[in-house]
Amino acid sequence: MAVDMKGKDIISIHDLSREEVNQILDTAHMLKTKDKIGDIYQPLRGKTLGMIFQKASTRTRISFEVAMWQLGGYALFLSAADLQLKRGETIADTARVLSRYLNGIMIRTYSHQEVLDLAEHSTVPVINGLTDLLHPCQVLSDLFTIQEKLGRLQGVNLAYIGDGNNVAHSLMFGGAKVGMHVTICSPPGYEPDPEITALAREDAAKSGATINLVADPAAAVKSADIIYTDVWASMGQEEEHQQRVKTFARYQVNSELLKQAKEDALVMHCLPAHRGEEITDEVADGRNSIVFDQAENRLHVQKAILALVM
């Protein structure tokens, strides 16, 4: 039976049931199929999504904006400079006002607490477009892409090579929900948040997944079906960039690392890529890479989220 998700906030994959994750993935498959055959489906006619951006964006803004247009609705871009938030208005007051105008709010920001506060005081669904802690829409799209390529999620082995950041956190949550084994391989001192890891392992115990933390890239990729990487310095960490380049040097996803993996292991990157740092051109553009299919699927999965919660 379909799960009713109307009005639900999408803040963390940890907050979703496995049935809700599957509902998003199934809906994304249906909407992508409709899109490819030119079947117009517009359940959000007359509805408006407010999109708050405290961080710059390519994929998040364009995919959400196009998603709303394709679903028959309207997406309103709200930069930090457009709102009174930077002039002292509280998140709570902003949420109360926007709820009177909009049918949904997507926010891409630094502080995860801002998203929690927005959701607490909003009467319309709030979607986390990214915070420093989590990136749920990205990873829901990643799960969809893996399922599309491999035909399954249960029992898949994913090795993430790099910083224990928001993407790593959401990959652990996502893998744990669907029974996918996730190995996070980071330099000492750059591991994922211990509380996130503990919560993911609780979910994993229910689904049959495993969540592992290792430091050796070659060992991490040995049995991986998916090799995943991300930038070494996220937005807001620019001053650490040079030090991180030195620290993460042996964590580059390159042809030498791929030789340690299965021949058919697929390579993923949430983009933007700093080519020559965390990934080389020959891997990003190589036969194992699915990074642009992954990017495309942001559109289809976010359409599913919007159609389900709005």
* Active site positions, annotated: 108, 135, 138, 230, 270, 298
Task: Cis check for the bond before 192: say yes or no (omega within 30 of 0).
Answer: no
CA dist 224 and 140 (Å) reads 19
Residues 25, 264, 176, CA angle at the centre, nearest 5°?
40
CA dist 152 and 124 (Å) reads 33
Helix, strand, or coil (residue 92): helix
Helix, strand, or coil (residue 183): strand
For residue 263, which amino acid is it? Answer: E
CA dist 281 and 148 (Å) reads 24
CA dist 241 and 233 (Å) reads 6
Of 310, 271, 287, the C-alpha closest to 126 is 310
Identify each DSSP E strand in the chain by its residue range: 48-53, 74-79, 104-108, 126-130, 157-161, 181-185, 211-214, 226-229, 266-269
Cα→Cα distances 251→29, 89, 211, 214, Å: 33, 42, 19, 12
235, 283 contact by CB (below 8 A): no
Q: Which residues pair with 127 in a beta bridge?
A: 10, 106
Exposure letters 35-57 (e unless 16+ CB within 10 A, then b): eeeeeeeeebeebbbbbbbbbeb
